[in-house]
Structure 1
Amino acid sequence: MQKTILIADDHPEIRTLVRITLSSDGYTVAECKTAPEAVDYTAQHPVHLILMDIDMPGEYNGIKATHILHSNPETTNIPVIMLTGSKNFQEESLQSGAVAYLTKPFSPIDLLKHVQQFVNASQ
């Protein structure tokens, strides 16, 4: 079964880079532009892992979205990796339920390693 990774980021170039990186490794990639859109998408579609930016437009940010996802019994077991340009929110992100924190710019190899680690752990 092919694994679906959701990338939630308001920058189309980041979503494209992530999609190309993960698709080349056999993952299906879904994309959202805001944190609320990611929460809604995850409630309606099977997702195996979420890559979540923190600072996005919308009603709330990626940290709040991660907290919402991990407060819901239906989505609590989906690993969330924060993929953000900020180095200032690591502790808050991990407390919200994120399993890892990667800062931009990121290495596609590091991204793949983290995705593989947490997708395999969530099976």
Structure 2
Amino acid sequence: MARTNSIVPLIILFLVIGVLAAVGFVVYTIVQDISKKTRAKMEKRHIQFSKDGVKVSMKEVNDEDYKDQTQSVLVNMWNHASFPAYKSRFWSNGVTAVQDKDSTKLYGSFC
């Protein structure tokens, strides 16, 4: 009888350790799965985690695409810009000028 009394606590100890090990393993696998999914999503956005820290890389853009985007921005800025006090000496910009007796006042000496 003395032998059975000393074996029961040992069996309970092994059961508790087994349950804790199973719970720890499940938590570990869930954390690893979440970290893999997060790393994959961040790498799609060109952000990498390393031992040195976080590295952010640029999305690869072809030279021709880059030039097209830059030119498009510049053309849009030029088309939407306005110069309220600007009067050209060479063309009328759609504004009809009133001709005076002396046309050199408006156009200078180019006419």
Is the TM-score greater than 0.5?
Answer: no
* TM-score, normalisation: structure 2: 0.15
Greater Rg over alpha carbons, structure: 2
* TM-score, normalisation: structure 1: 0.14
Query: Per residue, is there more helix in 1 or in 2?
Result: 2
Query: Per residue, is there more strand in 1 or in 2?
Result: 1
Structure with more contact order per residue of length (Cα contacts < 8 Å, sep ≥ 6) = 1
